[in-house]
Structure 1
Amino acid sequence: MFYQSVHRSHPEFWEGMRDQTSVGMGIAAWGLMTGVAMVKSGLSGLEAVLMTLIVYAGSAQLAAVPMIAAGAPLWVILAAAFCVNLRFVVFSAHLRPYLMHLPRFQRLVTGYLTGDLSYVFFARRFPKPGQTADELAQQQAYLAGNCAVNYLAWMGASLVGIALTNAIPTEWGLGFAGILALLGVLASLATSRLRMVSAGVAGAAAVAAWALPLKLNILVAIASAVAICLVLDKMRPNRPEGGAHHV
């Protein structure tokens, strides 16, 4: 299993927990808001709980829920959720050298549990994969501790939001709290000029296409950012800016 007792024997496990705890309140606010939003959008309590436990991806959930409520075609909902979560393909490609020594099931569980900030903290703490079995074990222990806090903060707050939807006034501004949490993620990931340009293009495209139905401005924003990044990446000299995982 991903969280074996051997992980807790490494100091890196507790270090990972401490690092993730520093942003735990933002993650909890985002999870609470997502839980409330799912029920307010028309999902039943059971449907919201199942979506939280199975999907475990706040941005994809919030992209899909308004489309479900609006009766959008299934392919539109799936396409939006897929596009919103494309960043995890990049995360997985970067983490592959760190995890290839693990059994396939354990790699799948690790990928499922790794969130945005878990990846950010891990990449900063370990810029290169371990060269020995002990180094790899330390890295895995750090990621396990980090993801444990992320999972508990997200799931706990999201389930509380679902349970207390009718008791939490919309005027509390939970949507704004969720936006602040996402801005924290965005700022942490904006580590290269190319990433900052892509964020700016995506934001501008989303605003320009705001009038499109079924929240299709999300797809327009993602497609615009990906297209401009591909063009700029082809145009720049053949020297990586801060490493391959910064593209």
Structure 2
Amino acid sequence: MAEGLAALVRHTEFKRGAREMLGITLGISAWGLVTGVAMVKSGLGVGLSLLMSLVVFAGSSQLASLPLLASGAPLWVLWATAFCVNLRFVIFSAQWRLYFEPLPRAQRLLIGYFAADLNYVAFLKRFPDMKPDPANQVPYFWGGVATNWFAWQVPAIAGILLADRVPTNWGLGFAGVLALLGLSYSLLRDRNTWVSGAVAGCAAVAAYALPLRLNILVAIAAAVAIGLLMERWLPPSSATSGTGGRSA
């Protein structure tokens, strides 16, 4: 097992995957730090915050669920919000299935845990043909994951452990918004995703007065609905869909 891991790390595609993720780690790390601080300040405590960071590993759903936890929202609202926020991974995994279907189920499940938005974007840029090539695709995936996972977890854990020493007047919440905007912008690849993003933003603002942050669900539902309609009536060109824009 040690020899296999060493061979994986030495693989050219592993190094390429890690290198191509380095350019976006600053935004990921800022987002992770903000999330770590927010979890503790929302009342979860250090232990539960560490567990949530390591087990859930989904920053957007973590940030979306924290205000609901703090406000005492019903469990069904919490689950529904996390489910809707993470629906995009159904699309991601459907695309990755074209590459990783030949792999053993246990390995595919492990890949599912580490899968992330920007890994998906980088992976489809590297392998746009959607043909399985495990000898190169698997090392590339794990190279990107190695960079992405540590870029998230190290700042998140630091934020959890140092949350009581971070003054609220530092404006980390705004930093988190900026990080999310940067990450979201990287996923806007064609007309359909831009329109869906704009609709989501307008719907979130229009429904802001709803209790229990239900405007988040309204925004997600509106974006998914308009995205599906545009996919059916105005499909993106093959040039943009090949870069992953269609599903991102």
TM-score, length of structure 2 as denominator length: 0.92
SS of residue in 1 equivalent to 2:16: helix
Structure 2 residue 97 is the aligned partner of structure 1 residue 96: yes
CA distance in 2, matches of 1:80, 1:12: 36
CA distance in 2, matches of 1:219, 1:168: 30
Q: Specify the code of the residue in structure 2 equivalent to 1:114.
A: A
CA distance in 2, matches of 1:49, 1:151: 14
Q: Which runs of 5+ in 2 are unaligned?
A: none
Conserved? CA contact 2:188–2:194, under 8 Å: yes
- Map of 2:222 onto structure 1: 224
- Map of 2:34 onto structure 1: 33
Between the two proteins, the alignment pairs up a number of residues equal to 243
Q: Specify the code of the residue in structure 2 equivalent to 1:47.
A: L
Q: Specify the code of the residue in structure 1 equivalent to 2:162.
A: L
Closer/same/farther in 2, CA of residues 204 and 166 from structure 1, 3 Å limit: same
- Map of 2:233 onto structure 1: 235
Q: Specify the code of the residue in structure 1 equivalent to 2:136.
A: Q
Q: Specify the code of the residue in structure 2 equivalent to 1:57.
A: A
CA distance in 1, matches of 2:121, 2:134: 18
TM-score, length of structure 1 as denominator length: 0.92
Q: RMSD over aligned Cα, in angstroms?
A: 1.9
Q: Which runs of 5+ in 1 are unaligned?
A: none
Q: Specify the code of the residue in structure 1 equivalent to 2:59.
A: G
Q: CA deviation at 1:130?
A: 4.4
Closer/same/farther in 2, CA of residues 170 and 105 from structure 1, 3 Å limit: same
Structure 2 residue 114 is the aligned partner of structure 1 residue 116: no
Conserved? CA contact 1:202–1:225, under 8 Å: yes
SS of residue in 2 equivalent to 1:189: coil
Conserved? CA contact 2:191–2:236, under 8 Å: no
Closer/same/farther in 2, CA of residues 241 and 126 from structure 1, 3 Å limit: closer
Kindly report which structure 2 residues correspond to 1:1-247, keeping only aligned pairs within 5 A, or say none.
4-130=5-131, 135-236=133-234, 242-243=240-241, 245=244, 246-247=246-247
CA distance in 2, matches of 1:152, 1:124: 22
Q: CA deviation at 1:67?
A: 0.8
CA distance in 2, matches of 1:209, 1:190: 23
The C-alpha deviation readout for 1:147-167, integer Å capped at 9, x for no partner, is: 011111111111100000011
Q: What percent of counterpart residues are identical?
A: 52
Q: CA deviation at 1:66?
A: 1.1
CA distance in 1, matches of 2:214, 2:5: 42
CA distance in 1, matches of 2:134, 2:11: 11
The C-alpha deviation readout for 1:223-242, integer Å capped at 9, x for no partner, is: 11111222333333797573
SS of residue in 2 equivalent to 1:180: helix
Q: Specify the code of the residue in structure 1 equivalent to 2:138.
A: Q
